[in-house]
Amino acid sequence: MTDPDRPGDADAPGSDSPATDSPATDSPATDSPATDSPATDSPATDSPATDSPATDSPDSAPFGDADPAIRLDDVSVSLGGQRILDAVSVDVGEGTFVGLIGPNGAGKTTLLRVLNGALAPDEGRVRVAGEDVHALSSKAASRVVATVPQTTSVTFDFPVRDVVEMGRTPHRGRFEGWRERDETAVEAAMRRTAVESLAERPVTEVSGGERQRVLIARALAQETPVLLLDEPTASLDINHQVRTLELVSDLVADGTTAVAAIHDLNLAAHYCDALVLLSGGRVLAAGDPAAVLSEENLREAFDAEAVVSRHPVTGSVYVTALPPASDDANGRVHVVGGGGTGARALHLLSAAGYALSAGALNEGDTDAEAARRVGADLVTVPPYSPVDDAARAAVESRVEAADVTVVADVEVGGGNLANLEAAAEADRLVLVEQRPFSERNYAGDDGFAVYERLRERGRVVEPGDLLSVVGELACDSFRERDGGANGSDDGEGGSDDGATGSEGRETPASADSTDSTDRESTDSDTVTDGRASDLFSS
Amino acid sequence: MSVRTRATTWSLGLSGLLLLVVVASAGIGAVTIPPRTVAAILADALPVPVGVSLGGATALPVVGPVPTPTLEFASPFEFAVPRPARIIVLSVRLPRILLAALVGFALATAGTVMQGFFRNPMADPSIVGVSSGAAVGAVATIVLSLSIPFGMEGAAFVSAVVTAFVVYLIATEGGRTPVATLLLAGVAVQTFLGAVISFLLLQSGESLRQVVFWLMGHLAGATWSEVGMLAFVLPLPFVLLVAHARDLNVLLLGEEDAHALGIEVERTKQLLLATASVVTAAAVSVSGVIGFVGLVVPHMLRLLVGPDHRVLLPASALAGASFLVATDTVARSGGAEIPVGVVTAAVGAPFFLYLLRTREVRSP
């Protein structure tokens, strides 16, 4: 797939060097930086006129770092009196795939518009492939940078092929006919993006994923050294997200420099060589994905708690967002109930702002319904089935993730004894007692034995005291965790960070899967929606 | 089939259609003249005013040098055509037919460009107030009995272009002209000018009939000088627009995309708007406001040939010419002359709806 377009390109222009990916425009600048990198201005300005000086040697790699494909120096942009980008400096090396991440309104799209020349910065310098894109004509700039827009609303039903052919616009004179090299470029672009079979279909009638590929094909037909993508995966299903980013990675492997604004942190971490984290128009962090995606950075940029781990399959950095509730001093609570005994606790704790999990419960149980209503992370087993090993493991992981575990005034039998055993592992345990245990034990001696362990470890409360006790224990848990994490810092210090990042507060949980609330399950079942019922229903 | 082939095929086909419509139309009227006679008269006359040799006529034996272009009726091909028929066709019907063709050509061209420009298939040539502007100029000239160089047509043309420019200025800020603002500014200015026209109508007194006649759109009383004027004005803007057909295609993707594909968006928009406005103004100033042609013809042709302006623009222009010649023939062939605008609407709308049902409804 990758090779056929190269020979085709190489023989069409004739005079051009085999480095077809980088059209002529960047050549004077990339040639000279060894000698006079600050003075690149003067050679750059006259280069767009000369269309094909085949001076570009494909192996200017030693200077690839000295003269990056994209260099932003202290770029500031204000729109409508509001500062959208604030002294942004970014270098993007040639042939790398850089992801722009950050909350909504952080300036990602604005940054892309500055890079493709649509928006002139108020301050600072922008150089793309050695060119000052804002000094170039729109046409010349479009031979340096191609942009894949997030959405294109096509009112008129052009065939797909015509849309891709429009990518040749910057290369064609007004009265110039369709040349061999235009044909080759379009064919190659369509083959690369696998849209050949759609060529004659109206672009208004293809699916979202297909249209995305058509737009990428259009950008490829521009044959630019730099490719910009604005949310290339937004509104695509998971298969098309992956295919799109695989395609971009392939292009980058062939020497293209790509910059993409990506919402999905995990996709960004997996596919990008480097990430730039924007927040409030500033670069919060830039560099290796693992370094950029720290829990601290994410908290500051997104104003959301997230857990960063390694994905067990891909090995990439993996971010799991936690619900906003866990952002303040509340914490997570796991509730063991059943038959309606836990419903009250669930509602109370939910109203108090705790992040909840519950289970294991039989599907259809009153408490299961209650847990669903409050959005708790619920572990279920089929109706009338006992809690099996898998469910028990799921419960254990939730208990471990929770700051506090609450065992309601539940009737205990052989079927749900495993829940209590799992709860017995909790660090902070609260037992709600209305009736003596003997009245609700149907598990015989085993039941008494387990409950005795619970009583030893946990605090027994009246229903009315539940909230205050849970609050107390959650605070303990937070203190312990903070102390373990960064020594002197306590809970108050953490909320200071939240205040500085408050501009982004309207988007508390901006990472992809907000309902996968389970911390531990990052290792096992995060790809699902975090509800362990999937484990059983399948 | 390449775009060029398609453009050529459609253009040739529609030119042929236009020729047929012209010949048929010239034979229709109070005195019916058979098409063969009309063709003979045209073949006879054509080399003279235009000064080029005619393909169809050169097959006949030509004796001696080709006469100078100043000659009108002393053509080398003396067909046995009755003199009255010749006069009816050349002096009475042909100016009107050619004017209809040119006006239809202009309106359909401008309509196509405006629909592309506004990315809205419901846009029409006077969307930025050109027609209202022309009407104000013309009505003011009639009502106030102004005497202006180039007369009423001149006044209409100038006020039309000025109106379009004013709308453009209103909608432009900081070198950018958002299309939506332009649309709204056009609507607002049209409404205002409508009030001005109503006010002038109240003051018109004796000349009311003349004003209403103008406003309804008229091709009656067309003269060769009007034909000459349009034939002189139209070619350059048309060529300019066709030369920008590809840019217009790219603009359809939206301005951000167009910029990313190397179009100087604002400059191209200015050029398209100015040119389309001049084309519309030229047509409206000689014929008054003839609605529907600029709206329906481009739309019909888009359903037939697709959205690519390299094909659509010439095809639409030629179809517009045929359409207006045909509808004007209907307008004048009845007992009493009907304003052509009435006929364009009455004929165009049902056909448009038919196409809409059969082509657009089927595909979601």
With contacts defined as CB-CB under 8 Å, which chain B residues touch A160?
none
Per-residue pLDDT, averaged over B180-203, amounts to: 91
Note whether A339 and A367 are within 8 A (CB): yes
Res. B211 pLDDT band, cuts 50 70 90 = confident
- Is A116 in Cβ contact with B260 (below 8 Å)? yes
Beta-sheet strand order (sheet of A70-79): A82-92, A70-79, A123-128
**Strand A70-79 relative to strand A82-92, pairing:** antiparallel
ipTM of the predicted structure? 0.79
With contacts defined as CB-CB under 8 Å, which chain A residues touch B3?
178
Per-residue pLDDT, averaged over B342-358, amounts to: 79
Between A18 and A77, the higher pLDDT residue: A77
DSSP string, A401-444: H-SEEEE-S--B-TTTHHHHHHHTT-SSEEEE-SS-GGGGB-SH
Q: Write down the pLDDT at residue A426.
A: 85
What is the distance in angstroms between the Cα of B260 and the nearest Cα belonging to chain A? 6
User: In terms of CA atoms, which chain B residue is nearest residue A175?
Assistant: B243
Res. A522 pLDDT band, cuts 50 70 90 = very low
Per-residue pLDDT, averaged over B204-215, amounts to: 83
What is the distance in angstroms between the Cα of A360 and the nearest Cα belonging to chain B? 48
- Is B262 in Cβ contact with A170 (below 8 Å)? yes
Q: Of the segments A238-247, A299-308, B139-148, which one has the largest average pLDDT value?
A: A238-247
Res. B218 pLDDT band, cuts 50 70 90 = confident
With contacts defined as CB-CB under 8 Å, which chain A residues touch B265?
138
pLDDT at B29 over 70: yes
Q: Write down the pLDDT at residue A515.
A: 41
Res. B142 pLDDT band, cuts 50 70 90 = confident
Per-residue pLDDT, averaged over B248-275, amounts to: 90
With contacts defined as CB-CB under 8 Å, which chain B residues touch A149?
254, 256-257, 260
* Residue A229, phi then psi, degrees to nearest 5: -130, 130
Q: Write down the pLDDT at residue A463.
A: 81
Averaged confidence pLDDT in chain A = 75
Per-residue pLDDT, averaged over B253-277, amounts to: 90
Question: pLDDT digits over A346-389, tens only?
Answer: 888 877 778 888 878 888 888 888 887 777 888 888 888 888 88
- Minimum mean pLDDT among A215-224, A231-240, B265-274: which range? A231-240
Length of chain B: 364
User: What percent of chain A is modeled with pLDDT above 90?
Assistant: 14
| Topology alike, domains A93-118+136-293 and A327-474 | yes
Q: SS3 for chain B, per residue?
A: CCHHHHHHHHHHHHHHHHHHHHHHHHHCCCCCCCHHHHHHHHHHHCHHHHCCCCCCCCCCCCCCCCCCCCCCCCCCCCCCCCHHHHHHHHHHHHHHHHHHHHHHHHHHHHHHHHHHHCCCCCCCHHHHCHHHHHHHHHHHHHHCCCCCCCHHHHHHHHHHHHHHHHHHHHHCECCECCHHHHHHHHHHHHHHHHHHHHHHHHCCHHHHHHHHHHHCCCCCCCCHHHHHHHHHHCHHHHHHHHHCHHHHHHHCCCHHHHHHCCCCHHHHHHHHHHHHHHHHHHHHHHHCCCCCHHHHHHHHHHHHHCCCHHHHHHHHHHHHHHHHHHHHHHHHHCCCCCCHHHHHHHHHHHHHHHHHHHHHCCCC
Question: pLDDT digits over A149-202, tens only?
Answer: 887 666 678 899 999 999 999 998 877 888 889 999 999 999 988 899 998 998
Question: Right CATH number for A327-474 from 3.30.420.10, 3.40.50.300, 3.30.420.40, 3.40.50.720?
Answer: 3.40.50.720
Q: Write down the pLDDT at residue A331.
A: 81
pLDDT at B328 over 70: yes
What is the distance in angstroms between the Cα of A166 and the nearest Cα belonging to chain B? 7
- Is B243 in Cβ contact with A156 (below 8 Å)? no
- Is A156 in Cβ contact with B260 (below 8 Å)? no
What is the distance in angstroms between the Cα of A426 and the nearest Cα belonging to chain B? 56
pLDDT at A415 over 70: yes
Question: pLDDT digits over A23-77, tens only?
Answer: 433 333 333 333 333 333 333 333 333 333 333 333 333 333 446 888 888 899 9
User: In terms of CA atoms, which chain A residue is nearest residue B248?
Assistant: A166
Q: CA A126, CA A201: separation in Å to the nearest integer? A: 39
Beta-sheet strand order (sheet of A377-381): A377-381, A355-362, A332-336, A404-407, A429-432, A459-461
Q: SS3 for A36-61, per residue?
A: HCHHHHHHHHHCCCCCCCCCCCCCCH
- Is B256 in Cβ contact with A169 (below 8 Å)? no
Note whether B79 and B263 are within 8 A (CB): no
- Is A166 in Cβ contact with B253 (below 8 Å)? yes
With contacts defined as CB-CB under 8 Å, which chain A residues touch B250?
166, 169
pLDDT at A20 over 50: no
- Is A152 in Cβ contact with B307 (below 8 Å)? no
Per-residue pLDDT, averaged over B283-305, amounts to: 88
- Is A166 in Cβ contact with B250 (below 8 Å)? yes
Structural domain boundaries in chain A: 93-118+136-293, 327-474
With contacts defined as CB-CB under 8 Å, which chain B residues touch A175?
243
Between B256 and B235, the higher pLDDT residue: B235
- Is B257 in Cβ contact with A169 (below 8 Å)? no
Per-residue pLDDT, averaged over A253-278, amounts to: 91
Amino acid at B160: A
Which H helix or E strand runs over A257? strand A257-261
What is the distance in angstroms between the Cα of A142 and the nearest Cα belonging to chain B? 5
CB pairs under 8 A between A and B: 85
Spatial neighbors of B55 by CB under 8 A, at least 6 apart, are none
Helices (H), A193-294: 208-221, 238-253, 265-271, 289-292
Per-residue pLDDT, averaged over B122-149, amounts to: 84
pLDDT at A112 over 50: yes
Q: Which is the CATH superfamily of the domain at A93-118+136-293? A: P-loop containing nucleotide triphosphate hydrolases (3.40.50.300)
> Which residues of A touch chain B, with CB atoms under 8 Å apart?
113, 116-118, 137-143, 145-147, 149, 152-159, 162-163, 166-167, 169-170, 172, 174-175, 177-178, 202, 205, 218, 222
With contacts defined as CB-CB under 8 Å, which chain B residues touch A201?
none
- Is B243 in Cβ contact with A166 (below 8 Å)? no
- Is A162 in Cβ contact with B249 (below 8 Å)? yes
Question: pLDDT digits over A418-458, tens only?
Answer: 888 888 888 888 888 888 888 888 888 888 888 888 888 88
> Which residues of B touch chain A, with CB atoms under 8 Å apart?
2-4, 116, 119-121, 243-244, 246-247, 249-250, 252-254, 256-257, 259-265, 302, 306-308, 363
User: In terms of CA atoms, which chain A residue is nearest residue B2?
Assistant: A178
- Is B306 in Cβ contact with A141 (below 8 Å)? no
Res. A131 pLDDT band, cuts 50 70 90 = confident
- Is A141 in Cβ contact with B262 (below 8 Å)? yes
pLDDT at A526 over 80: no
Residue B206 burial (CB < 10 Å; 0-12/13-18/19+)?
exposed
CATH code 3.40.50.720 for B95-360: no
Which H helix or E strand runs over A538? none
Cross-strand partners of A83:
A78
With contacts defined as CB-CB under 8 Å, which chain B residues touch A169?
246-247, 250, 261-263
Structural domain boundaries in chain B: 95-360
Point out the residue among A139, A153, A205 whose CB comes nearest to the CB of B262. Answer: A139
